[in-house]
Structure 1
């Protein structure tokens, strides 16, 4: 869904979730202006491990801290085990 901001810039929703909320949490969900940098953070709980960030079935990073530039609406999942 594209929304227009006050200055006419496009705004996009970025949804960041955890695949297993009992194994870790992920931060970064929000509505961002097109071209903005999104900073996501994955925090595994004690004894658990962060595997990586995924968009659908596609892995995009194994770094617990990950940044990208917004160009469209996306849903990204932090995968823990």
Structure 2
């Protein structure tokens, strides 16, 4: 599975104290490592992404390290099919 890191989403907020906490709350998983396939760094942010290669244009949250979060607009290959958590805070 692949995802595209979305540009220009820093102004969006949720009530979970952080997007990483939002991902943990709604995925039921504690964030550990960055979910990029080859990365060995700790996940420190909940990054806004879109699924790559599908018609779904919804925004999702995935745990990424700082380096992969800063690769805006790039496609990243994911390790072990992590849960995509909706970034829609009204659900």
TM-score with structure 1 length normalisation? 0.31
Structure with more of its chain in helix, by fraction: 2
TM-score with structure 2 length normalisation? 0.29
Larger radius of gyration: 1
Structure with more of its chain in strand, by fraction: 1
